[in-house]
Amino acid sequence: MRTALLSTAMLLLAACSSGPGQAADAPAAGVGKLPFTVTPVAAFDAPWAMTFLPDKRMLVTEKAGRLLLVTADGGSRLTVAGTPAVFSQGQGGLMDVVLHPAFATNRLVYLSWSEEGPGGQGVALGRGKLVESGGQARLESFQVLFRAQPFVSGTQGHFSGRIAFSPDGKYLFFTNGERQKFDPAQDAKATLGKVLRLTPEGKPAPGNPLAARSFNPAVWSYGHRNLLGIAFDAQGNLWEQEMGPKGGDEVNLILPGRNYGWPQASNGSHYDGRDIPDHKPGDAFEPPKVWWNPVISPGGLMIYSGNLFPQWKGDAFIGGLSSMALVRVHLDGTNASKGDQWDMGKRIREVEQGPDGAIYLLEDKAGGRLLRLTPAA
């Protein structure tokens, strides 16, 4: 679990970064004057994720379990009925919201959430049809498509639950955290600590690379910790970010069948100070493309494709929780390097791109605002 309060010294350290070929005390670029105008749009109760509808309205999830349909200006909102019951304790709650690629015709909305079940709690994936009538909205015929295996007790963290569709719309990628249990990330039978590739109906996708090695047939990659962002770039590369332990937050290029090392390798250490072997050549683990020590506590992940900020087109944007920052990572094909880190003054849970190319942020916790970023005048 992340410590909610950081000392002044740790806040100063959060403005430093390290990564492949970079000194651990190298200052992060971009700390200082913001190169964008920040406009508050609305406020929510512990918002977690958002997505835009074709008509520019937004769906926003709140941790306690509400799904809200919000107008583009934030001035009007509806509570969407028909959502699942959630386990909203610790890091659990209602999490990601993503539209089916053919939403304009089928109106299908996908959600992830944590729930109670046999053996404890786990993350689930489901979908329903967004129906509006009489000034009300609901998810009709909502069904659970997939549940993490196994559910575990004794911890309320590392559910993950991020969703991304492949560019061709044929597959759904779903992240399952290792639930602070370490070893499940390397357990072939568990979905915990994994990136999963599913069909849009929630079944293991045919041809997944590890099924022939007796892995759970849904697994695409493994050896992950707490995967709180996943997105495809314009070239079809799949990028993921995850929280490390004490140090070692990561951005990874996700490749089929690869082992990303957790908990056997990490560029961080255990919270009690015990060492974890760093990633190194020849260790059989896929190393991160970028990593941070001290941590940024990465939240959502977005890869920018708009025109309002042409200088950042193709780059990744990450919300910083403990770092209270918006973090830019420059992507160059299958390579990545650190860009800017802007102090936003609040924990940033989610980053999304708007239909107009603006960058939208959701602040974490009660009263978390939706912020719209546009180029500075």
* Catalytic positions: 158
Give dist(CA 187, CA 13) in Å, integer. Answer: 35
Give dist(CA 144, CA 65) in Å, integer. Answer: 15
Give dist(CA 362, CA 365) in Å, integer. Answer: 10
Residues 319/298, Cβ–Cβ less than 8 Å = yes
| SS3 assignment for the chain | CCCCCCCHHHHHHCCEEEECCEEEEEECECCCCCCEEEEEEEEEECEEEEEECCCCCEEEEECCCCEEEECCCCCCEEECECCCCCCCCCCCCEEEEEECCCHHHHCEEEEEEEEEECCEEEEEEEEEEEEEECCEEEEEEEEEEEECCCCECCCCCCCEEEEEECCCCCCEEEEECCCCCCHHHHCCCCCCCEEEEECCCCCECCCCCCHHHCCCCCEEEECCCEEEEEEECCCCCEEEEEECCECCEEEEEECCCCECCCCCCCCCECCCCCCCCCCCCCCCCCCCCEEECCCCCEEEEEECCCCCCHHHCCCEEEEECCCCEEEEEEEECCEEEEEEEEECCCCEEEEEECCCCCEEEEECCEEEEEEEEEECC
Tokens standing for residue 290: 């970028």
**Of residues 209, 123, 202, 217, the one with CA closest to residue 162:** 123
Tokens standing for residue 25: 């005390």
Distances (CA, A) of 250 to 57, 297, 371: 32, 10, 25
Give dist(CA 204, CA 219) in Å, integer. Answer: 8
